[in-house]
Amino acid sequence: MDRLKHSGFYKLKFLVTPEEFKGILELFEQKEAQFNLSNAARTTHDLNQVHEAYTAYYQYFTGQEKLYYHPHFVYSITMKLDDKISGFFIKNEGISFPYRGAWAEDELPCIMLSLPKGFQVHLEDEKGKYYVYEDIREHLPLTHAFYEEVGKYIKKHTKLLRCSVGSSTDDLQELKPSVRVSRDAAADLANSWIFTTYSLVLNMA
């Protein structure tokens, strides 16, 4: 079995509308996934609460006026698809972009879904106890297959985000982040305060 020098993560960054996000949550619901906040109590949220949190995050960035409060969207997701408990992580991230010779004060929104590539295996020899990382596909094949299923679903409904920033048509710089966005989410972004504030232009057919 292959050992990994570093665990690392499978990652997929995306942005969809709250209505489209329901389809993603339904996939997790079918697997009886549990969503926990990253607080000390690891508070569990049901799918309605998760959807409400996503909606608040989405509306902050797609509204026409910037709100004072910046909502966050961060959960660990646990499920038992193989014979062991496995976990995903989903959280909001920002996409930095240049503006007038510096980095913009604000960032474009996206959500990152991640799964560890390595599975921690505890070993012991004459030197003592230690652990190594082995390929999660070998230890948790159903978990990895589910990650691929979710990724395939998201990719089916999204395209890579492409937009330009610049003070004039002669100074336009295209942004090519590795973030996937749905058609409707892109349309909402194009009319949002962040696109207006920084004169961003959407480049998606």
Alpha carbons 86 and 81: distance in angstroms, whole number: 8
Kindly report the pTM of this predicted structure: 0.88
**pLDDT per position as a tens digit, 4-42:** 455 689 999 999 999 999 999 999 999 999 999 988 778
CA 108: distance to chain centroid? 13
β-strands 180-181, 9-15 pairing? parallel
Residue ranges of domains in the chain: 3-158
Alpha carbons 74 and 95: distance in angstroms, whole number: 16
Q: Is the pLDDT of residue 152 over 80?
A: yes
> Which helix (H) or strand (E) element contains residue 44?
strand 44-45
Q: Is the pLDDT of residue 194 over 60?
A: yes
Binned at pLDDT 50, 70 and 90, residue 106 comes out as very high
Q: Is the pLDDT of residue 71 over 70?
A: yes
User: Would you state the pLDDT for residue 123?
Assistant: 57
44 vs 120, residue with greater confidence: 44
